[in-house]
Structure 1
Amino acid sequence: MGPDGKKLLNIVILGFGFMFMFTAFQTCGNIEQTVIKSFNSTEFHGSGYTSMAIIYGVFSASNLMAPSVVTLIGPQVSMFLSGILYSGYIAMFIHPLTWSFYTASVLVGVAAAVLWTAQGNILAINSTDRSIGRNSGIFWSLLQFSLFFGNLYIYCAWHGHVHITDKDRQTVFISLTVISLVGCFLFFLIRKPDPDSSSGSEATESLLQTESGDGSTDSSSRPDLCTQALDAFVQACRISVTKEMLLLSASIGYTGLELTFYSGVYGTCIGAMTRFGSDAKSLIGISGICIGLGEIIGGGIFGMLNKKNRFGRNPVVLLGLITHFVAFFLIFLNIASDAPLAPEGGTDLEAFITPSVAVAMICSFLLGLGDSCFNTQLLSIIGFLFRDNSAPAFAVFKFIQSIMAAVAFFYSNFLLLHWQLLILVVFGFLGSVSFFAAEWLAESRRRDSDYGSI
């Protein structure tokens, strides 16, 4: 297999590893608030929204240090150990206790920062300027298959269940834990790409070069690794105040807000709508499948469009903004405003139209499609603008995204639906405008590079 084939295979393995892990974790996040409402135990007093706020808050605080961790132990070991902590969080729901719930939330926040920094580093190392868009689309599409398989399982397992029993919960979370562990071990199949001039700079390759063939770290290079770790942190701080990253920060922040909405809030709203009938709980699974279909289709199509790069990234982001605005308006009309905060019995209220399951599922698809528009283009532009410092750049990306997700999960504990939608509309508009400006800078840099190579 040639160098390009090995790099493409690495991207595919990376995508499958994340697909298995997040089949478990995203399904867990989608249903956990509904599951928690069904607990009969007096020993548990947790909130799914609060847990996710802790996860993303710790995630954001850990991101600037994550490049140092990845440098010290290598991206493969980093992703494996992070995946083990993800699996532990999921397994906690088999026999939930308040202290273990929130402790696991903190640990997953740390793990997430390391996991996504290592992922961004491997994506950049295995890509060139021409293939970064294609590889981003491939990875994103494989990742989003997680929404399809996990939520299909939830629909089949909970179909017709008005109340979630302890046995229902334990069966689901044992299965999800095993699925997550499969993804962890897949990361060891990723191989170090052959060095060549187009694969990126020495700075991006250094994280992989510190590993030996079996994934271990050479102890004789420890002083150099400590220096590299410090340099990675300093680079992350410098990148965070560059003009390009400041422009992208509004768009990145918006993806954090809408991530919270589609991954935790919207499914809870659907499950709380008693007007959807006895299948309301199982419709959470169908909603997740529709979100996943939107993500998969968007990741595939927009990844390929970005490869040709004829029209740039702006049209895709504009399409994402319009798609989300349509979804927000339909959700405003279709879902009761108190649905995010409704008790276990749900809400009997209506919004402005007779609640429609079909409209709710269309909105789920649009949420996924719009999310893929923003994320594939952000992965692509960051990989292009910060190729020489990919790990710190992706750490900053996840820092901004996760801190906004934490804020959104926090206010989801008390804000009615229409206020949450208004926040999304405002940030979506501001984020798109700032992205257009960042893309203009990226195009200027590309033209200068092409001119210099003549």
Structure 2
Amino acid sequence: MSPEGKTLLNIVILGFGFMFMFTAFSTCGNIEQTVIKSFNSTGFSGSGYTSMSIIYGVFSASNLIAPSVVAVIGPQLSMFFSGLAYSGYIATFIQPFTWSFYTASVVVGIAAAILWTAQGNLLTINSTDVTIGRNYGIFWSLLQFSFLFGNMYIYFAWHGHVHILDKDRQTVFIALTVISLIGSFLFFLIQKPEPKSIFSDESESLLQAESSESASVVVVPQGLGSQALDAFRKALQLSVTKEMLLLSIFIAYTGLELTFYSGVYGTCIGAMTQFGDNAKSLIGLSGISIGIGEILGGGMFGILNKCNRFGRSPVVLLGLITHFVAFYLIFLNIASDAPLAPEEGTNLQAFITPSVELALLCSFLLGLGDSCINTQLLSIVGYMFQEDSAPAFAVFYLVQSIMAALAFFYSNYLLLHWQLLIMVLVGFLGTLSFFIAERMVVSRRRDTDNNSI
């Protein structure tokens, strides 16, 4: 197999591994608050929103050490052990206890930081300037298939169920635990890339140094303590650069909208009694609709946009407009107290007669907008900081997870319209900052080309 074929295969395997893992974890996150409401009366006092807030809070703090872990043990082992932690979190729902639920939340928060830093590092070292957009599109599309399969099962299994029985819950979470484990073991199929196939001759020596410390899972790197310290120091340095500070505002927005589409919106749909006895099963359809939007966006603006002829800003603007349209329609269609409603749901009505079709359209728009935004953000971070990809992605996920933790925390208390308003304000400011960062990238590339000439 050619070096380019090997790196492409690595990206595909990486995508399938994450697809299996997040088929389990995304489905878990989408339904957990609804599931928890069904057994709160048994002595379990946990909250899905609080658990997610813990996960992302620990995630944010752990991003400072994640580059060191990836530098020491390599991205493959980092992703494998992180995947085991995800499986353990899902398994706590089989026989739930408050202490195990929150303990697993802390552990998976640490694992998430290591997992996503390793993912960004591995994807970057398997990409060139030309293929990085395509590779992020392939990875993103495969990852977003995770929204389809688990949620499809939820829809059919819970169709017509007003209450979630213990048997229903246990069957679902045993299956999700097994699926998550399959994804973790797929990471061992990823091969070490050929240095000459990744970057130009000028940066080949840099790649060899990076791949020896990050991509190999067989060769033990020299000076592990020094590498770990260097990775930690580099993450701190990158966090205060002008480019990263600009991007951080928009990254913060992705944390807020991630919270909303992955946990809050599905809970809102399941709480709408005016959707009838099938409201709980509609959570699954909502997840499927989000996934279709994610896959479509990842395909159009990742895989097909190989050369970035028009830059990243138009795609980001399209994503933001798509989200703003979805937020407005949700404001009209969903009751304001839906995020906080008890298991019986809410009888309040928003500004129009609630429509299932409109609710699912909004799910699709949330997924489409998210893919537009994230494919471009991940691509620009990988491009701007390809020489320090692991620390750069650690900073990315540090900012995103802090905002996600904050959003899951306030989701316990804020009505729907306040949550939507916060996302609109941060999204608008973040888009402006992204435009400035993109212009800096274009200017830097122009200066580099002129110097080369």
TM range (shorter): over 0.9
Task: Report percent identity of matched pairs.
Answer: 75
1:262 alignment partner AA: Y
Kindly indicate whether the alpha-carbon contact (under 8 Å) linking 1:154 and 1:282 is maintained by their aligned counterparts in 2.
yes
Kindly indicate whether the alpha-carbon contact (under 8 Å) linking 1:337 and 1:417 is maintained by their aligned counterparts in 2.
yes
Aligned to 2:437: 438
Residues 62-73 of structure 1 aligned to structure 2 (within 5 Å): 62-73=62-73
Q: State the 1:446 CA deviation.
A: 1.3
1:173 to 2:176 alignment: no
Q: Once the two structures are superposed, what CA deviation does each residue of 1:34-92 show, in whole Å capped at 9, x if it has no partner?
A: 00000155331000000000000000000011000011111100000000000000000
Kindly indicate whether the alpha-carbon contact (under 8 Å) linking 1:204 and 1:391 is maintained by their aligned counterparts in 2.
no
Normalization by structure 2: what TM-score?
A: 0.97
2:165 alignment partner AA: T
Aligned to 1:352: 351
Q: State the 1:156 CA deviation.
A: 1.2
Give the whole-Å Cα distance in 2 for the aligned partners of 1:212 and 1:289.
34
Q: State the 1:157 CA deviation.
A: 1.1
Match of 2:42, SS state, is coil
Match of 2:306, SS state, is helix
Give the whole-Å Cα distance in 1 for the aligned partners of 2:249 and 2:309.
25
Instruction: Give the stretch that moved more between structures: 63-72 or 37-46.
Output: 37-46
Q: State the 1:150 CA deviation.
A: 1.1
2:272 alignment partner AA: M
Q: Once the two structures are superposed, what CA deviation does each residue of 1:188-246 show, in whole Å capped at 9, x if it has no partner?
A: 00000011174366556545414797x3453xx45x12111110111100000000000
Give the whole-Å Cα distance in 1 for the aligned partners of 2:215 and 2:437.
38
Taking a change above 3 Å as real, the CA distance of residues 104 and 202 of structure 1, as seen in their structure-2 partners, is farther
Normalization by structure 1: what TM-score?
A: 0.97
Q: State the 1:180 CA deviation.
A: 0.1
Unpaired stretches in structure 2, ≥5 consecutive residues: none
1:158 to 2:161 alignment: no
Aligned to 2:450: 451
Q: State the 1:450 CA deviation.
A: 2.1
Count of residues in correspondence between the two structures: 450
RMSD of aligned residue pairs (Cα, Å): 1.4
Aligned to 1:20: 20
2:69 alignment partner AA: V
Aligned to 2:83: 83
Aligned to 2:273: 274
Taking a change above 3 Å as real, the CA distance of residues 40 and 166 of structure 1, as seen in their structure-2 partners, is farther
Taking a change above 3 Å as real, the CA distance of residues 440 and 415 of structure 1, as seen in their structure-2 partners, is same
Taking a change above 3 Å as real, the CA distance of residues 28 and 207 of structure 1, as seen in their structure-2 partners, is farther
Residues 383-394 of structure 1 aligned to structure 2 (within 5 Å): 383-394=382-393
Q: State the 1:15 CA deviation.
A: 0.3
Residues 77-156 of structure 1 aligned to structure 2 (within 5 Å): 77-156=77-156
Give the whole-Å Cα distance in 2 for the aligned partners of 1:201 and 1:395.
23
Aligned to 1:225: 224
Give the whole-Å Cα distance in 2 for the aligned partners of 1:46 and 1:114.
25
Taking a change above 3 Å as real, the CA distance of residues 349 and 51 of structure 1, as seen in their structure-2 partners, is same
Q: State the 1:307 CA deviation.
A: 1.3
Give the whole-Å Cα distance in 2 for the aligned partners of 1:203 and 1:29.
39
